[in-house]
Amino acid sequence: MKSAHCIYFILSLLLLQACGINKLKTFEFPQPEDTRDKPIQTQTKKTYALNNVFADNEFDGARLNNFERVNDSTYAVTILPENEPINSSPHYAFRIWSQKPDTIFIQLRYPTSKHRYWPKLSPDGQHWQPIDSTDFTLLKNGEIAQLRVGIHQKPLWIAAQELHNSTAAKEWASALATDTRVHIDLAGKSKLGRSLMVLDIYEESPNDKDLIVILSRQHPPEVTGYLAMQAFVEELLQNNKLASDFIKKYRILIFPMVNPDGVDLGHWRHNAGGVDLNRDWAFYRQPEVNQVVNFIVNTANRDKNKVILGLDFHSTQEDLYYTIADEHHSILYPFKDYWLQSIDLALPGYTPDDHPDPFGQPVTKAWFFKQFRADAVIYEIGDETPRSFIKTKAETAAREMIKLLILR
């Protein structure tokens, strides 16, 4: 009887291996973080009225903690984080207007941090321009940023980066889904009940195809990475033979906004649980990460997909790529070396800044390798990288990836 049980156990293991079953695992890292819930301080949503000047934060993505009058021509905006400790990336977004045309000074005050993002102005919340350098000054070693702006009855939008909230992400996804190869799904709900969208791209059947996973907006203000992700994905769907052959061969899962609560709440870094989601890819304590990783693993198991590559789009002070250290060989090794070299050759005057580093923190890059032995790259875009170059570079990166993987 024991022999029969043993044979059954061995056959079960072989069957699981043949089907490519991946059990979701937890991992220990040299630099772990406590990703259990932490209290957050929500901003009060209101319209401030100071004589004939008004300001508000009553829209998704806003960040305005207080609005005060300093003197006849100067007003102070207080910007505070959702909780601390936190990465120094103070996001701000508000509207300001007056009963009659005027030119005023606005001071962005950061009691706990220093200024990071160059101000963007918009007449409608859709079309944005960086403020002219002659109208912008840093004071007190960056603790205050002063803007000179003209205001009138129509609200002027002022923000750290262009606003792309969860509603805009849904609109973008819906537009892509007019392509029959794009299927919209849900990985689940965020802590506050917002949808965790998934774009599932494939042609004909999704089964038995190698799988590429793309992520964005784990950190709310990192809009330049989100813009790069959009351009990258749109290039994959171009109406040409290269893109068409690629989608026939591969399946792509895209999570365009992993942290919709943080985005809509105007957070600097964290989700509604007060946690940096890109430090939770080991024990999956936050609902957003937990549902995303389960969706990836369950999808790959159900449809017999092999996860071969994870791309996570972020923003920082400059363009760079965080890659897997050379001593770790993924199932695509040495894909990233050829990929970055091909991007280098395709973009005269630009050399990719490769940062291979060891596995220290529980971030996506490490998770993809440890869970699937997949290659993985954290694709970083500079805060103020020209938007036209963000698009050009992302489209180039997508084309060069397609060429390499088509030939694989």
Co-location of 90 and 133 in the same domain: yes
Report the mean per-residue pLDDT for the chain.
Answer: 95
Amino acid 3: pLDDT: 47
Count of domains for the chain: 2
Amino acid 6: pLDDT: 40
Co-location of 243 and 359 in the same domain: yes
Q: Does 25 fall in a domain?
A: no
* pLDDT tier at 20, thresholds 50, 70, 90: low
Co-location of 155 and 208 in the same domain: no
Co-location of 169 and 154 in the same domain: no
Position 86 pLDDT exceeds 60: yes
Co-location of 195 and 301 in the same domain: yes
Position 7 pLDDT exceeds 50: no
pTM: 0.94
Q: Does 331 fall in a domain?
A: yes
Q: Does 110 fall in a domain?
A: yes
Position 18 pLDDT exceeds 70: no
Q: Does 13 fall in a domain?
A: no
What is the average pLDDT across 70-94? 98
What is the average pLDDT across 246-261? 98
Q: Does 3 fall in a domain?
A: no
Query: Tokens 């965790």 correspond to what residue?
Result: 196
For the segment 288-342, what is each residue's pLDDT rounded down to a tens digit? 999 999 999 999 999 999 999 999 999 999 999 999 999 999 999 999 999 999 9
CA geometry: angle 166, 167, 168, nearest 5 deg = 90
What is the average pLDDT across 7-14? 36
Position 73 pLDDT exceeds 70: yes
Co-location of 212 and 291 in the same domain: yes
Co-location of 150 and 247 in the same domain: no
Amino acid 408: pLDDT: 86
Position 8 pLDDT exceeds 60: no
What is the average pLDDT across 84-106? 98
Position 161 pLDDT exceeds 70: yes
Amino acid 10: pLDDT: 34
Co-location of 194 and 136 in the same domain: no
What is the average pLDDT across 219-227? 98
Q: Which of 113, 129, 159 is the last residue of a domain?
A: 159
Amino acid 22: pLDDT: 85
Q: Which of 137, 159, 181 is the last residue of a domain?
A: 159
**Residue 380 or 407, more confident:** 380
Q: Does 230 fall in a domain?
A: yes
Position 246 pLDDT exceeds 70: yes
What is the average pLDDT across 77-97? 98
Q: Does 282 fall in a domain?
A: yes
Q: Does 39 fall in a domain?
A: no
Amino acid 105: pLDDT: 98
Co-location of 107 and 223 in the same domain: no
Q: Can you give the chain as a three-state secondary structure string?
A: CHHHHHHHHHHHHHHHHHCCCCCCCCCCCCCCCCCCCCCCCCCCCCEEEECCEEEECCCCCCECCEEEEEECCEEEEECCCCCCCCCCCCCCEEEEEECCCEEEEEEEECCCCCCCCCCEEECCCCCCEECCHHHEEEEHHHCEEEEEEEECCCCEEEECCCCCCHHHHHHHHHHHCCCCCEEEEEEEECCCCCEEEEEEECCCCCCCCEEEEEEECCCCCCHHHHHHHHHHHHHHCCCCHHHHHHHHHEEEEEECCCCHHHHHHCCCCCCCCCCCHHHCCCCCCCHHHHHHHHHHHHHHHHCCCEEEEEEEEEEECCCEEEEECCCCCCCCCCHHHHHHHHHHHHCCCCCCCEEEECCCCCCHHHHHHHHHCCEEEEEEEECCCCHHHHHHHHHHHHHHHHHHHHHC
Give me the domain span that covers residue 307.
164-407
Q: Which of 102, 134, 159 is the last residue of a domain?
A: 159
